[in-house]
Structure 1
Amino acid sequence: MRTLLFLFLSLLLFVPSSVYAEDTSKKATDTTSKKTDTKTSNNETKKKVSKSSTPKGFVPPKLKQFIKAPYPKVELKKRKNVSVILQLIVDKKGQVAKVTILQSAGKAFDDAAMKAAKQFQFVPATYKGKPVPVRINYRYAFFVKTVKAPTSRPAKRQQPTSRPTSRPVARRTTVKKRTMQPTSTETMLYGYVLERGTRKPIDGATMFFLGQRVKKQVIANEQGQYEVPKLPPGRYRLVIPVPNYKRFQAILRVYRGKKRSVKPGRDRKTKKPIIPIFAGEKQERAWYIRSEGSGLFETVTRERKERREIHRQSLRQEEIKVLPGTQGDPLKVVQNLPGVARTPLNTGFFVVRGSAPDDSRVYLNGHQIPQLYHFGGLTAVLNGDMAKRLDFIPGGFSVAYGRSTGGVIDLQTRKGKDRWHGYLDFDFTDIGLFLEGPLWKGANLIISGRRSHLDAFLGLVLPSDNRAFDLTVAPRYYDAQVKLDWQITKAQSVGIMFYFSDDRLSFLRDEPIGRSNIRGDFNFTTTFYRFQTYWKIAPSKTIEHQLSFDVGLTSTNTNAGAAITVDNANYDFSFRDELRLKPFSFLSFRMGIDTRIRRTELSLRIPNISPPRPEDEPGSGSTSSTLDEYRTIENKQWVMEPAAYFEINWKPVKPLRTITGVRVDYFSRPEQFLINPRFAVSWTVIKPLTLTGSVGLFSQPPSGQEVNPDFGNPLIKSENAIHYTAGLVGRWKCPAALGDICREFTTEFTFYYKHLYDLITSSNQVVIRDGDEVSERLNNQGVGRAYGLEVLIRFPPHKRFFGWLSYTVGRSERQDAPGKEWRLFDYDQTHIFTVLGAYKLGFGFSVSARFRLVSGNPYTPIQGSIYNADTNGYIQIPGKLYSARNPLFHQLDIRLDYELVFPLWKLSFYLDVQNVYNYPNQEGTINNYDFTQTAPLTGLPIFPSLGVKGQF
């Protein structure tokens, strides 16, 4: 029975080749063996076996490791493109047991192809989940690539050679113009095979010209270029079968002589026009093939790099761009991962595993971002299409990161593409431009810019009577990014990046009615400029060194009439130098320097508020302050925070891995030396289950406002936390019946506990400082704890679908002073449930959805109020701190995308609807003037957003 099954599968199965090899010689001719992707055998006239005849439950083998075959030296003078058709027997282990020549291309080519194919490694074929041996056909193609000789001096005629240069250059091929010159006088038809909509060259595409008597096969090179020799007159069917692309077919008629006017015709069966070709004249034509994926969920297998953290979630660009409610912002996608609390009113900060928003750090290419969102959460300041990868580490992160007791988000930007590409994007909030492409060999540029237009729309729709609009403002923002990467050699690269953001907020009318205490000019401006540069060198696989700088200015200006003026400028410089050594496969070292220097200049003009009375409790919400006069504060200070770290990644045995590191920080304000040891371990007990755990010490310096002597405490110290985590990770294969939905999925269960101490809390104590009695304002007497369980079931992007389900149950508590009662943390959320996914429907349509069910945030109830004659107002009497909670939050968001693909460009539309069923989620309460009545403060109602994007 097994023998019959083996023979049956062998007759059915045909696996296209997936081959690439390159010679980097600097001579005028460059010979290369090249892959050819086809879905048909060499004899196109054979009848195809229908899909219905394939046994149910059968999964064909997949090439896992390809061995490059050099172009035979003895054939270099002939300079011809050939293919060798092989028959491979792949056993149950995925190894090639036997190789047979089905179609020869000559002894030299046959030997080279057979030698390489014997070393192939496959993912074995399976039938009903069990590995089975199969016999497959494999096309191994060789081609000759022509390279222009240098033009700085007359090129001497040189013999073709396959001798590689001493330092191969990384493969980066750019088609500067979509024109080419045929290399043979016998050429009849030449041109390109390109992807429809993106103009991406399809390397190795096999073209079949099928006539009644003549059948010709042509293989495109890595630039998608092809040349067809003269064919006898007659009618031909052109077929271009490429994996992951729709099968391309066209009808050609070859005429004798040169180009002339002929009567147009159509094929009777396909109703397609017949394309005239004239054998006496060289003609150029490009063929555009549509991708089956429509550019959405591409399954990519990458080499798994050495992990630096045990608990890390990485997101790819496909998962960032199409989720509803995120506007393509990579940082907003993080809010859907386990361990991240929902922020009220869509504000753009992160509450990670019960830590305060200021306790988590966001990095761009290893350097901290000065501002995440425009106006606190409207949209990210960085274009999501620049993102290569986003890593979210909720706790237990590497010693390479510091100055944080919460979590870490590290956004890595990508390099520009090797061909010019761009788009124009327009939606309800802004208009954006994106452009990328090559500048010179190895150098690629990305330019992005956006401008909001809410101010223009509001100016059109608001009525001229401004009395109905008290305190209405219109936001306006800009942002731009420019990035240049240059791969100097295969081992060395440099890059620079400049990005900036500008937010402005002002009244729509010069004189708003009411609230005369803030009458006059009102504006808010936040601007930052950043310049980054890096140099990376990796002379071997065992050594890698990277040096990077980040320098910039962040400026904030606020004016509220004549009452309040705030001018704050921060001049930042950060420096990171890291060396990685891997002397053995089981042992690696990482060491580096992470330094940050800041110059802060602060100027304030604010109402002078008398200090609180001793009987006022910190954090109670009560106040007995009185408004006396205006006060001016001028403060300038330097802050230096150098750090050094060292880490060992060791695998004593194959299933066990440990990461041990130590970080040493110095903080100048306040002056402290801190040592943070950290340890993480993972152990693969039985495949596919892995046990994980980590423990570490984390320290965070106080902010500049907290150490300011005018409204803080210059003597407070850093906050500290100890992270404990334990988890179980499983990686599972999807059933064969779900081949279009998923290939594999992961399950993760993580328990965490965080002990927080030396927390900065408010104080009403009076202390002696420099011989004077002053208010302490702040101290380090707070402690906290956060613990919980996180669950994540994740399906990575594969063909038509990706998505995940996350659930967090946890508790976060604080104790503001010794002996005080424990209370809930301000942003404590007991249950956080999120399920989301995206599915490609076909015909250019895709749909994505997100549903969230979250516990409401805690708040302090109001028991009553008292009248204050000094201020002619009422003062609230608060109840127990954070003893009440808002109702359960739940919301459904849906996004629909539609893409039109033209030969040279694409046009896409999207409709993003948040809060589809328009549920009024309560985010807080609103009180009347004497605090006797309350009303719920609800969040965003149903909010549709329509956008259009044209790209080439």
Structure 2
Amino acid sequence: MKKTKFILILFFVFFYFQEIYGEKQLDIKFQLVRSSSGRPIANATVVAKYAKASGITDGEGTAVLSFPSPGFYEIRIVAGDRIETSTKEIRYSGQVILISIREQESGGIIVSGERDKTPLSRYGLQQDEIKRIPGVAGDSLKALQTIPGVVIGVPVGVLPTAFTNVGANAVSGVPYSNSERGDLSLRGGGTRQNQYFFDGFPLSYPFHLGNQSSVLNNNLIRSFDVYTGAFPSRYGFATGGIISVEGTDRVEQNKTIVNMNFFLTDAYNQTKISPSISMITSGRKNYPNFVLLKTYPDAIPQDAKFAEYHDFQWKMIWDISNEQRLSVQTFGGRDRQAYTKQQASYERDGADPRPPTGLDRLFRTDGIRHIWKGKSFRNTLSYSRTEFREFFELRITNPATAENIFGLQNRTSDYLTFAEERLELDVLEDYIKFEGGVQFRSKETNLKGENITSTNRLFSQIFDNLINSSPQFRSIIDGDRIRYHEAAGFAEFQGKWHGFRLNPGGRVDTYSGSGEVNLSPRITGGYVFESTKTSILAGHGIHYNSPVSVEQLSKRAGNPNLFMERSEHNSLGVAQELPKGWSLKLEVFHNIFQNIIVADSYAIDPYSLNNDLRLFVRDPSNAINSPLTPRNLNYSNSGYGFSEGIEFFVKKTKDPREESGAFGWISYTNSLTKRNNNQARLSSDEQRDRSLENSQRTILAQTKIGTNYLNYYDNNTTEFIFNNDRMELYDLHRSHILNIVFGYKFSPEWQIGGRYRYFSGSPFTPITGANRLNQAATFGANLYIPEYSKAYNSDVYAPFHQFDLRFDKFDNYSWGYINVYLEFVNFYGRRNQSGQNFDNLRAYERGVNPAPVYDTVNSPYVQSEDPRGRIVYLPIVNLGMEVRF
């Protein structure tokens, strides 16, 4: 109760205390300068129509206009034969507004201008629309999770990165999966088949661990585009979708913004060092585990976990001349996964100070870009290098005694080099534009297991069994590495004539791993009825993506000859612009996914080099006498899938000239997504019989007939492995996805916003029973292995829904403004199920074991007791303040 009163007091202090403005007239100074040289522009007319004010700049380029009240006003500049219109926010008397005019006669650089971006399967939002979206602590990029066709994935699991397929099924008994862990799925695509870009440079991952926050500072994000289908030819290396984030690219005036709340602090600064050189710096640090543990530890759910993270961004912009610009930038982030209550007790006991999960990952990208622009062309040359590193500690303990049976540390390092040469050309002004270029990517991944520990007397036996039975585990212990490169060329024409729009194009992708060359034709088009502002849209595109995981391409434990995955995107839609800032879009889509990389226990290379160093040391004569040996490849391109559905998006934009008004959007997606791994499903008896037969024969040849395997053995026998797999729901399938984001600005000082999300439950395979594991007696425990239904993904979890609420209070001062905000995240304390947990120490009991696991990251909550001693679930309260200098 004390904490509740404390929160209420803060609420009244920050939200009902406001400054009384005594001024009735605001005198604003406008300063006009040339963007290239910074020199003042004299004799220019400045007009504010709605304020009924105008003025002419003097020799220093200044003009003073009077405004009746704070708010947004349309400002028109008339300089010679140039007329420019923009919207500016008037906050206080004496405010100085700097307006930079770009010269037309030299064809000056306009880096931030859109060049006829296709509206088909693209959803874009600007910073002023997303900066204060409720429930995300001021994180603009989280708004992309409210876009149609976007499904939140499972970014962090028990076994991240290289451990995703090492022995997981053997321990848990979980049926095979038709998905992988990752951040987002776009229109049914794989979560690791998307590409993320920041200012055109590859972005390793968009969100910190657990989807808590984006890896980019809120004030740095100018806008973003989400391409969910048939994306432009410039974008490749993806079969799912593209998320392209654009950062601040021009500094008109110096400013600093500091944002502080209960869970994080971030800062942003932009400085104009000289008329032609600007610098942008930003950073962020979060501390949710510290705050929650120190302020209200009893409210934290037992299974709640948070990641500690920080990120940084730095950018230098040099406008060499009106035609040329050079920019250098670096950005990155770091995450450490740490449990809450478990972590606190761990530290109190004085034990190992490392987090129990031992998950630590980071990335850094350094990039340089040169832009050369003339009257009818723009050439962009970009280069970047990204380093990604991950540390993961795996511990297998005795569930009865917590004894460390086995543990190891894994280190993964990944290096990505990216280069692009892109030309944009006005072939026929206002009618035909051309975009083309070349891209190059090279990737190197290193994997190494180290610091193997155990306190169990049977450790040597367990370790040897793992080494001998699992090539994947053996490759981790010995170390593994993959290297490959990709090159691509792309071209696209953007044509428009009267109401017709047509963008034909394509790209050619080469991949060194398989030596393949793939052509990807793409085309989008439509017709715009100017009289009604109605657009008919259609598109088709082929997309390719190379394998992404080290365990898939490993020469020791995987299949180095895997091909690129392929997808086909088809879309048809209609868009309508409506009066008073309203617009809507309706699209239907059908995507096909082919050559999906899946775990395959039947794919074999009969003549693989017998070069396993560990086995060579143990039995060198075997390697000498048999230089070639059969080897399981463990992966193949056998997967197939599709996704089809309909999307609806309606948006209301507030007129920036109005002091008050409503804004927001509604997105809805109804879809069906299925996958087929095309893997033969054998009964336990069939698997046992096959193992006995294969122990007495050696495979000499393997071929594929459709999706079936035909094997020939040295005893002159053949084996036909019939694919009896079937199309089943995708692990991340959700039939219905609804997002409602709204805001209302009552005045220049007050604003309220809300966000409501509803997702159909994701599918899962129910547990129907459990078998007692007799071997567990060796460790002094009775263990039970769950038995799953034969009908894969035949049940669904309860629907996910949540409401977030935010209040904003703005105070304007001569030096800037203060924005105090109060958020109620998960307003009605909804517990959304994200999985189920089976207690291996207990027998199966319907409704009790397995028990539900709740999402405490995407849908956080706190727990408390009511006067009767019952547990109640409450929203997360986040109070923060943003200050702009």
TM-score normalised by structure 2 residue count: 0.71
Whose relative contact order is higher, 1 or 2, with alpha carbons under 8 Å and at least 6 apart? 2
Q: Which deviates more, 868-877 or 811-820?
A: 868-877
Q: Does 1:948 align with 2:782?
A: no
Deviation at 1:33, TM superposition (A): 2.0
Does the residue aligned with 1:920 lie in a helix, a strand or coil?
A: coil
Does the residue aligned with 2:447 lie in a helix, a strand or coil?
A: strand
Q: Which deviates more, 855-864 or 427-436?
A: 427-436
Does the aligned pair in 2 maintain the 1:608–1:628 contact within 8 Å? no
**Structure 1 partner of 2:747:** 842
What is the RMSD of the two structures over their aligned residues, measured on CA atoms?
4.1
Does the residue aligned with 1:145 lie in a helix, a strand or coil?
A: coil
Distance 1:636 1:353, change over 3 A: same
Deviation at 1:663, TM superposition (A): 0.6
**Structure 2 partner of 1:644:** 489
Amino acid at match of 2:835: G
Distance 2:152 2:386 in 1: 31
Does the residue aligned with 2:880 lie in a helix, a strand or coil?
A: strand
Structure index of larger Rg: 1
Amino acid at match of 2:880: G
Does the aligned pair in 1 maintain the 2:447–2:476 contact within 8 Å? no
Distance 1:848 1:25 in 2: 40
Distance 1:332 1:433, change over 3 A: same
Distance 1:28 1:345 in 2: 50
Distance 2:146 2:765 in 1: 27
Q: 1:418 aligns with which of 227, 243, 252?
A: 252
Post-superposition Cα deviations, 1:609-632, rounded to whole Å, max 9, x if no partner, equal 96899xxxxxxxxxx999999961
Does the residue aligned with 1:398 lie in a helix, a strand or coil?
A: coil
Does the aligned pair in 2 maintain the 1:755–1:785 contact within 8 Å? yes
Amino acid at match of 1:675: L
Q: Which ranges in structure 1 are unaligned for 5 or more consecutive residues?
A: 1-17, 43-138, 148-172, 174-189, 206-221, 223-241, 249-285, 291-301, 614-623, 734-742
User: What is the 5 A alignment of 1:639-678?
Assistant: 639-651=484-496, 653-678=497-522
Deviation at 1:732, TM superposition (A): 1.4
**Structure 1 partner of 2:277:** 443
Does the aligned pair in 2 maintain the 1:909–1:949 contact within 8 Å? yes
Q: Does 1:598 align with 2:443?
A: yes
Does the aligned pair in 2 maintain the 1:354–1:786 contact within 8 Å? yes
Deviation at 1:469, TM superposition (A): 12
Q: 1:938 aligns with which of 854, 858, 877?
A: 854
Does the aligned pair in 2 maintain the 1:193–1:289 contact within 8 Å? no
Q: Which deviates more, 390-399 or 556-565?
A: 556-565
Q: Does 1:287 align with 2:94?
A: yes
**Structure 2 partner of 1:722:** 568
Q: Which deviates more, 666-675 or 745-754?
A: 666-675
Post-superposition Cα deviations, 1:63-115, rounded to whole Å, max 9, x if no partner, equal xxxxxxxxxxxxxxxxxxxxxxxxxxxxxxxxxxxxxxxxxxxxxxxxxxxxx
**Structure 2 partner of 1:486:** 318
Distance 1:530 1:517, change over 3 A: closer
Q: Does 1:776 align with 2:583?
A: no
Does the residue aligned with 1:332 lie in a helix, a strand or coil?
A: helix
Does the aligned pair in 1 maintain the 2:73–2:90 contact within 8 Å? no
User: What is the 5 A alignment of 1:702-741?
Assistant: 702-705=547-550, 706-733=552-579
**Structure 2 partner of 1:877:** 787
Does the residue aligned with 1:749 lie in a helix, a strand or coil?
A: strand
Post-superposition Cα deviations, 1:245-294, rounded to whole Å, max 9, x if no partner, equal 48x8xxxxxxxxxxxxxxxxxxxxxxxxxxxxxxxxxxxxx73599xxxx
Distance 1:781 1:901, change over 3 A: same
**Structure 1 partner of 2:524:** 680
Distance 1:531 1:28 in 2: 33
Distance 1:458 1:22 in 2: 50
Deviation at 1:502, TM superposition (A): 2.0
Does the aligned pair in 1 maintain the 2:363–2:388 contact within 8 Å? yes
Distance 2:416 2:486 in 1: 11
Post-superposition Cα deviations, 1:602-652, rounded to whole Å, max 9, x if no partner, equal 112478596899xxxxxxxxxx9999999613123322111111111223x
Does the residue aligned with 1:144 lie in a helix, a strand or coil?
A: coil
User: What is the 5 A alignment of 1:545-584?
Assistant: 545-560=379-394, 563-584=407-428
Amino acid at match of 2:207: Y
Amino acid at match of 1:747: L
Does the residue aligned with 1:531 lie in a helix, a strand or coil?
A: strand
Distance 2:36 2:801 in 1: 61
Q: Does 1:588 align with 2:425?
A: no
Distance 2:729 2:40 in 1: 72
Distance 1:310 1:600 in 2: 36
**Structure 1 partner of 2:592:** 755
Does the aligned pair in 2 maintain the 1:39–1:243 contact within 8 Å? no
Distance 1:748 1:430, change over 3 A: same
**Structure 1 partner of 2:132:** 322
Post-superposition Cα deviations, 1:516-560, rounded to whole Å, max 9, x if no partner, equal 9999976322122211111111111x2111111111311111234
Q: Does 1:398 align with 2:232?
A: yes
**Structure 1 partner of 2:4:** none
Deviation at 1:577, TM superposition (A): 0.9
Does the aligned pair in 2 maintain the 1:577–1:594 contact within 8 Å? yes
More helix, by proportion = 2
Distance 1:882 1:434, change over 3 A: same
What is the aligned-residue identity percentage? 20
User: What is the 5 A alignment of 1:194-343?
Assistant: 245=90, 287-288=94-95, 305-308=115-118, 310-343=120-153
Amino acid at match of 1:399: S
Distance 2:745 2:488 in 1: 47
Q: Does 1:145 align with 2:6?
A: no
Does the residue aligned with 1:376 lie in a helix, a strand or coil?
A: helix
Distance 1:348 1:600, change over 3 A: closer
Deviation at 1:391, TM superposition (A): 0.6
**Structure 2 partner of 1:814:** 675
**Structure 1 partner of 2:47:** 36
Distance 1:745 1:526 in 2: 43
Distance 1:675 1:766, change over 3 A: closer
Does the aligned pair in 1 maintain the 2:32–2:40 contact within 8 Å? no
Deviation at 1:766, TM superposition (A): 5.6
Q: Does 1:867 align with 2:772?
A: yes
Distance 1:845 1:361 in 2: 38
Does the residue aligned with 1:632 lie in a helix, a strand or coil?
A: helix
Deviation at 1:471, TM superposition (A): 9.8
Does the residue aligned with 1:359 lie in a helix, a strand or coil?
A: coil
Deviation at 1:576, TM superposition (A): 1.1
Distance 1:544 1:925, change over 3 A: same
Does the residue aligned with 1:351 lie in a helix, a strand or coil?
A: strand
Q: Does 1:825 align with 2:825?
A: no
Does the aligned pair in 2 maintain the 1:335–1:342 contact within 8 Å? yes
Distance 1:381 1:194, change over 3 A: farther
Deviation at 1:868, TM superposition (A): 2.0
Does the residue aligned with 1:335 lie in a helix, a strand or coil?
A: helix
**Structure 2 partner of 1:689:** 534
Post-superposition Cα deviations, 1:341-374, rounded to whole Å, max 9, x if no partner, equal 2446999711111112112211111222012222
Distance 2:815 2:65 in 1: 13
Q: Which ranges in structure 2 are unaligned for 5 or more consecutive residues?
A: 1-28, 78-82, 98-111, 157-180, 396-405, 453-461, 609-627, 679-706, 708-723, 778-782, 862-874
Q: 1:790 aligns with which of 647, 659, 669?
A: 647
Does the aligned pair in 2 maintain the 1:38–1:243 contact within 8 Å? no
Post-superposition Cα deviations, 1:886-922, rounded to whole Å, max 9, x if no partner, equal 1122211111111122222322211111211112222
Amino acid at match of 1:328: G
Deviation at 1:927, TM superposition (A): 2.3
Does the residue aligned with 1:549 lie in a helix, a strand or coil?
A: strand
Amino acid at match of 2:527: W
Post-superposition Cα deviations, 1:370-424, rounded to whole Å, max 9, x if no partner, equal 1222223121111021112201111100110111111111001113533221122
Q: Does 1:746 align with 2:583?
A: yes
